[in-house]
Structures are given as C-alpha cells and as structure tokens.
Amino acid sequence: MSRYTGLSAFPITPCDPDGRVDAEALRGLLTPLVEAGVDSIGLLGSTGTYAYLAPDERRRAVEIAAALVGGRVPLLVGVGALRTDAAVALAREARAAGAEAGLLAPVSYTPLTEDEVVAHFAAVADGSGLPLVVYDNPGTTHFRFTPALLGRLARLPGIVAAKCPAPEPSGAAETVAALRAAVPDGFPVGFSGDWNVTAALLVGGDGWYSVAAGLFPRTCRAITRAAQAGDADRARALDGALAPLWDLFRAHSSLRVMYALAAARGIAATPPRPILPLPEAVQAQIVATVRRLDLA
C-alpha cells in the first residue's frame, strides 16, 4: 500500500493563548493515532491551524511529532505559505525535522492563476527535496483545482499524491473518474470533507484525509478498511452512524467542533484568535451528541 493512501488523521495543534505549542498535549493527541494504526498523520493541516502559527512553532510541532512517531507512521506536514520562498523554507525545515511529505496548499491573497500554482509547486518541490501532496482546500484558499491542473501537477517531479475535497455522493463516481483520467496511473488521489468521503472511497478514492480521525481514529479506520475491502454495506452503515457528527461539522465547522471535543477531554487548547470557542451551550450539545455515538 502507498504511504499516501488509506486513513490520514488530522489532529488539532494544541497551543496556549500566545500561540505556543503544548508539547504534552500534542503527544497526547498523537499517541492514540499511532496505536490505532492510522496509515499516516496529517500534522499542521487546516485542522492543525498551520496558517496561524509562527514558523518557529510550526517547526517545534514537527519536531515533537517526529520524535514521537519515530518512523512508525508517515508524517505529512502542512508547508503552505503566501510566498514561495517561505514555503520552500518550511518544507526544508519539515524534511529536516522528520516529515515524510509536505501538504502544500496554494495559499494566496491575490488570486493565483493555474500557471502560478504550477510554478509554485515546482519551486517548492525542487527547492526542498520534500515529497509534496497537493492540498486542495478551496474553503480556505479560495482556489479550486481542475482535473487538468491536477494532472499537470501530478507529472511534476516530487509531487506524490493529492488531497481533494470530496464531492456530494451523487457526483462521487463522476468526480473520481475525471480525476483518475487526468493523473498518471497509480497516482494516489484521496479526499477530505468527512461527511462525503465514504462515497468517494467506494468508487475508487485512494484515501481519507480525516478531521474526525484526529480524535476517533479507530472508528474512522473501520470505515476506511471496509471501503478498501469493497464492503460497501458495512462502510455505509458505519458512516451513516456518524451522521450526527457530520451534522455538527456542517453546522459549526469541523475545526470548532474538534476544539470543543478536545476541551471535553481535558486538553487545554485555545483556538487561534480571531477564532473563538463555541458558546458553552453549543459545546455541551456537541459533547452530549458525540457521547451517544460511542466513538473510539
């Protein structure tokens, strides 16, 4: 199995109000992921609030994670930045600290053209020597990859996989087929957007880049393994049982929900301002809902 397929778990990055990474809390989040047998860990993804962290804290988070994981689980690290030279520097540091691949999103203020995105990815891959996963997250970058653009990137040296937003289930087969037709044979195409991923896996998606797996790796691993085995009935049943959690993600954002759930576990993590914790009543509703689901 490729190191860029299967279940990739994306935890939050617990920090104090000043944005300093809480090493003990981060280790406490990562250890269960390793023990659950996830296929990779996505550190400093959007759920890991990479865009809000100072470069020193990003490097420190990678060092903490790499020391704990110790090669047992591939570590994929967010290296996105506004400037290409900054992304190259982050990717070099991530590689030196023990990352196996970088998650590169086309972060921008001025909207980027497709040629600019290709040049950006080529420069980061060439300048860092770190294998890169295309990180397509239009909800945060406001840039959307076409299949044709993904095909161009997939043929660049050093680009090893893609993380794409999962389509609505009704369009899963068409979307996956279009992406498959655009990229070289064997190029791994995985999906995010937890509530729609199972449908994408069942029609040929290679991986699940999962927010929920950051706290509930065994439950998400069971869904992934059922889909990989072609057991559609079991995968859909397990996914359907999580509908209340997916509803919470859609209503409040998966990031805010995960912070509320982390707080319920005693993890004193503060969302980076200007993001505020959800109101106490909403947090209580989230915790009560998830307890009824008996997630692991």
Q: Among all residues, which ones are annotated catalytic?
A: 135, 163
Q: Do the beta carbons of residue 131 and residue 101 sit within 8 Å?
A: yes
Taking the C-alpha atoms of residue 121 and residue 212, their distance in angstroms, rounded to an integer, is 28
Taking the C-alpha atoms of residue 289 and residue 291, their distance in angstroms, rounded to an integer, is 6
Taking the C-alpha atoms of residue 89 and residue 224, their distance in angstroms, rounded to an integer, is 34
DSSP string across 256-272: HHHHHHHHHTT----PP
Give the tokens for residue 133. 């996963």
Taking the C-alpha atoms of residue 258 and residue 255, their distance in angstroms, rounded to an integer, is 5
Taking the C-alpha atoms of residue 231 and residue 58, their distance in angstroms, rounded to an integer, is 39
What are phi and psi for residue 241, nearest 5 degrees?
-65, -20
DSSP state of 236: H
| Bridge partner list, 190 | 163, 207
Q: How far is CA 158 from the centre of its chain?
A: 19
Taking the C-alpha atoms of residue 235 and residue 262, their distance in angstroms, rounded to an integer, is 26
Comparing CA positions, the residue from 108, 97, 5, 121 lying closest to residue 44 is 97
State how beta strands 132-135 and 159-165 pair: parallel
C-alpha triplet 43, 45, 46: angle, nearest 5°: 150
- Across the chain, which distance is largest between two alpha carbons, in Å? 50
